[in-house]
A and B are shown apart, each in its own frame.
Chain A
Amino acid sequence: MIGYHLSRTGVTAHPFYISHIGIGLTSVEELCYFICQYPALVDETVLNQKLTRWLAEEFRLNAPALAMERGIRRSAGLEDILLPFMRDVGYLDAGEQKAFRRILEALETGGAALRLKMKGDALVRNRRFGEAAAAYTQAENAVRQGEEKLHASILHNKGVALMQLLSYEEAYRAFRAALALEDTPERKRVLLIAAGIAKPRALLLPEADEIGADPDTVKLVEETLDAAAGAEIEIPEDLPAALESIRSDYHREAGT
């Protein structure tokens, strides 16, 4: 609903920490936003007594907190815990509730592999690439027969996460495995880019021949790699600080 949502509960000085993405939430609206954007990350590290106490003490949402706690204690599904909470705090209108219910249903019934993939995707969006890669690996192990397309998608996303972690060889292997499960021009393009980064450039064309990439795709890949190679990076004035920032970002994103 386009407009201005009134915040009745305000902001607290005592955040609720979400370990998956390493941030503290300071309002009910942020909590609801997090739940809606990343339902796959709403697990026992989020839904617990700490959360219900936070809601009751910081925002005086005693009744919704109590209802949530009851749901957690009896191990109710996400739908039975989150939807009533969203309704109680007035975050979603009727149409939005319906749409969110469908997402939760897909999460609950879609199987462990899908759930873990969605978790990985949510972590990638929050630049937690190390944890995302781990989630994708768990998702791979949970794939069932007949879920080849899903498996390919998991491998592709894992490859993306690994690229961000500068693990090019591993990323290449993930893309390769994805292509083996689902042969598409897009998967070929991505694989060749990874190959161009992970391996000597001279091996690119033989690789392209091996996987049957069409000339247009190869040309596009070569242009992409040439552009990346030719790109100039501005050296920051405060180089030590910039390097430190890169280092800490890397460790945060890698989960190390």
Chain B
Amino acid sequence: MNEVRNILVGLDIGPDRSQICYYDRKAKEPVSVPTRVGTNLFAFPTMLVKMSGREEWHYGFEAEYFAARPGGIRVPNPYETALGTETVMIEGAPVEAYLPLAVFIRESLRMLGVPRPAQVVSGIAVTSEKMTPCLAENILRALKHLGFDRRISIVCDHMESFYYYCYSLRPEIWSKSLGLIRFRGDEASFTAMRESRGTKPFAALTSDEGGAALPKEAEARDRDFSAAVEQWTEGSAYSAIFITGSGFSTEWAKLSVRTLSRAASHVFEGDNLFAKGACYALLEQLEKHAFDGRIFLGEEHTRFELGVDVIEGGSQHFLPLIRAGRAYYLCGTECDLILDGRDDLMVTVCAYDGSRHRNVHIPLDGLPERPPRASRLRVSATMESPDTALVRAEDLGFGELYAATHKVWEMRIEQ
């Protein structure tokens, strides 16, 4: 590995297989870490084994080996455990749902070959095919457990990784629509990503265009897949199509390759684009901020902004509490406001493109009367769904000068 500090790490974690990559700053691109040096094997089993009676853990292929040996205890699948909140038993002791994942990540990071990763990693992103609020929460808890600050930890699903991957490449790759074909054995599905340029920022939106069950026989498989590609791509111009997953091979896809070449200017095949996309997400969100004119709006992403006009340093500015373009379960922040001549809370809501701007008035009934600038209000906003925000305000008084009532006001705001 070429990096020894300030490392950006992308992890793609799945129920069966996981991958890790890092951003090579010299090459200016993410590099997948092979499971064995000198090979192109990047995926390793999502498996964790603990040696009985010892704090000795093994992951991936090592885990497969030690699971078969005396004393090797296979730990419940870290990914599947993290999908829920129930504790699991490891050697008779209950552990929280995020802990096996934390250990799995810790052990996987050994592949980077750096001691004390928490000290040299400046950003870590974990992606998974489907991200749920519970999984996201457990991933973040796992990362925190390993010493990674929340501010440098990113969680995203595969489509969002795909977005960051594609738009980090050269412009001719994303100049038109983008296609993602995912193979799962004999099943293939197609998702299109299109950029809506009628708004500012441009919105990248995905749509599932359908799937196909393919026969095993090569010629029939090729024919059916080719027909599916034609159907999926009909009526749209694609600058690039990406193929991932197991089940595709250029050995049988002779007709399909020609169809793909007609459908898109560029066709790529590979299994590590999501881990790399996660790396690109880190690069963009933590360092480059070059996507300012563009936003990803997945199904679970908020499409509106919510915030408060605040005074700071004598001038007024908008403080966003909810930002558009983030998975709703990852949205949420809080701030302290000092009230000056106000006994209510006015929140501003607008769509991601700045339209449908409106003010929402939250009365603070029962707030004690105090002089100006002698009331501290803790305001927080979270998303209950992609369309519904919950704004909460709590009276914290003003230190010992004016006692707090801790009265709480809440309001649900729909997009």
CB < 8 Å neighbour of A25 from B309, B310, B399: B399
CB<8 Å pairs between A and B, sample of 22: A3-B310, A3-B311, A4-B308, A4-B311, A5-B310, A6-B310, A6-B319, A6-B335, A6-B338, A7-B335, A7-B336, A7-B376, A10-B336, A11-B376, A15-B399, A23-B400, A23-B401, A26-B400, A27-B399, A29-B398, A33-B398, A37-B371
A113 to chain B, nearest CB (A): 27
Q: Does A74 contact B (CB under 8 A)?
A: no
A219 to chain B, nearest CB (A): 34
B307-321 interface code vs A (CB 8 A; 1 in, 0 out): 011111111100100
Determine the chain B residues whose CB is within 8 A of the CB of A90 once the complex forms: 312-314
Determine the chain A residues whose CB is within 8 A of the CB of B400 once the complex forms: 15, 23-26
A187 to chain B, nearest CB (A): 29
Determine the chain B residues whose CB is within 8 A of the CB of A11 once the complex forms: 336, 376, 396, 399
Q: Does A227 contact B (CB under 8 A)?
A: no
Q: A29-B376, A33-B374 are in contact. Are A5 and B399 (CB under 8 A)?
A: no
- Which of B316, B337, B373 counts the most A-chain CB atoms under 10 A from its CB? B373
Determine the chain A residues whose CB is within 8 A of the CB of B313 once the complex forms: 90
Determine the chain B residues whose CB is within 8 A of the CB of A5 once the complex forms: 310-312, 337-338, 340, 373
B337-357 interface code vs A (CB 8 A; 1 in, 0 out): 111111001000000000000
B314 x A92 contact (CB < 8 A): yes
Q: A2-B340, A6-B319, A6-B335 are in contact. Are A30 and B401 (CB under 8 A)?
A: yes
Q: A7-B376, A8-B312 are in contact. Are A2 and B341 (CB under 8 A)?
A: yes
A30 x B398 contact (CB < 8 A): yes
Instruction: State in angstroms the CA–CA spacing of A5 and B336 once bound together.
Output: 8
Q: A5-B338, A6-B337 are in contact. Are A33 and B373 (CB under 8 A)?
A: yes
Instruction: State in angstroms the CA–CA spacing of A34 and B342 once bound together.
Output: 20
Q: Does A231 contact B (CB under 8 A)?
A: no
Q: Does A210 contact B (CB under 8 A)?
A: no
Determine the chain B residues whose CB is within 8 A of the CB of A26 once the complex forms: 399-400
Determine the chain B residues whose CB is within 8 A of the CB of A202 once the complex forms: none
Instruction: State in angstroms the CA–CA spacing of A222 and B33 once bound together.
Output: 94
Q: Please, how many residues of chain B have a CB less than 8 angstroms from a CB on the other chain?
A: 29
Q: Does A44 contact B (CB under 8 A)?
A: no
Q: Does A234 contact B (CB under 8 A)?
A: no
Count of A-B residue pairs with CB < 8 Å: 85
Given contacts A3-B341, A23-B401, 11 further A-B contacts (CB under 8 A): A2-B342, A3-B310, A3-B316, A3-B340, A4-B311, A4-B345, A4-B377, A6-B310, A6-B336, A11-B336, A29-B398
CB < 8 Å neighbour of B401 from A3, A33, A93: A33
Instruction: State in angstroms the CA–CA spacing of A10 and B335 once bound together.
Output: 9
Q: Does A235 contact B (CB under 8 A)?
A: no
Q: Which of A20-41 contact B (CB under 8 A)?
A: 23-27, 29-30, 33-34, 37
Instruction: State in angstroms the CA–CA spacing of A132 and B338 once bound together.
Output: 30
Q: A23-B399, A26-B399 are in contact. Are A3 and B342 (CB under 8 A)?
A: yes
A193-222 interface code vs B (CB 8 A; 1 in, 0 out): 000000000000000000000000000000
CB < 8 Å neighbour of B311 from A6, A33, A37: A6
Q: Does A233 contact B (CB under 8 A)?
A: no
Instruction: State in angstroms the CA–CA spacing of A1 and B373 once bound together.
Output: 10
B340 x A4 contact (CB < 8 A): yes
Q: Does A228 contact B (CB under 8 A)?
A: no
Instruction: State in angstroms the CA–CA spacing of A34 and B371 once bound together.
Output: 12
Which 8 residue pairs are nearest across A and B when measured between Cβ atoms?
Answer: A93-B314, A90-B313, A2-B341, A7-B336, A4-B337, A6-B310, A23-B400, A5-B338
Q: Which of B361-380 contact A (CB under 8 A)?
A: 371, 373-374, 376-377
Residue of A nearest to B316 (CB): A3
Instruction: State in angstroms the CA–CA spacing of A154 and B336 once bound together.
Output: 40
CB < 8 Å neighbour of B314 from A8, A25, A30, A94: A94
A84 to chain B, nearest CB (A): 14
Determine the chain B residues whose CB is within 8 A of the CB of A25 once the complex forms: 399-400
A94 to chain B, nearest CB (A): 6
B376 x A1 contact (CB < 8 A): no
Instruction: State in angstroms the CA–CA spacing of A238 and B377 once bound together.
Output: 34
A4 x B314 contact (CB < 8 A): no
A112-151 interface code vs B (CB 8 A; 1 in, 0 out): 0000000000000000000000000000000000000000
Q: A33-B374, A90-B314, A93-B314 are in contact. Are A4 and B398 (CB under 8 A)?
A: no
B335 to chain A, nearest CB (A): 6
Determine the chain B residues whose CB is within 8 A of the CB of A23 once the complex forms: 399-401
B375 to chain A, nearest CB (A): 10
A104 to chain B, nearest CB (A): 18
Determine the chain B residues whose CB is within 8 A of the CB of A15 once the complex forms: 399-400
- Which of A25, A26, A27, A30 counts the most B-chain CB atoms under 10 A from its CB? A30
Residue of B nearest to A22 (CB): B400
Instruction: State in angstroms the CA–CA spacing of A25 and B400 once bound together.
Output: 7
B310 x A4 contact (CB < 8 A): yes
A4 x B376 contact (CB < 8 A): no
A213 to chain B, nearest CB (A): 36
Residue of A nearest to B339 (CB): A4
Determine the chain B residues whose CB is within 8 A of the CB of A94 once the complex forms: 314
Determine the chain A residues whose CB is within 8 A of the CB of B310 once the complex forms: 3-6
Determine the chain A residues whose CB is within 8 A of the CB of B337 once the complex forms: 4-7
B312 x A6 contact (CB < 8 A): yes
Instruction: State in angstroms the CA–CA spacing of A26 and B336 once bound together.
Output: 14
Instruction: State in angstroms the CA–CA spacing of A26 and B315 once bound together.
Output: 25
Determine the chain A residues whose CB is within 8 A of the CB of B398 once the complex forms: 29-30, 33
B284-314 interface code vs A (CB 8 A; 1 in, 0 out): 0000000000000000000000001111111
Determine the chain A residues whose CB is within 8 A of the CB of B371 once the complex forms: 37
B392-404 interface code vs A (CB 8 A; 1 in, 0 out): 0000101111000
Instruction: State in angstroms the CA–CA spacing of A100 and B53 once bound together.
Output: 69
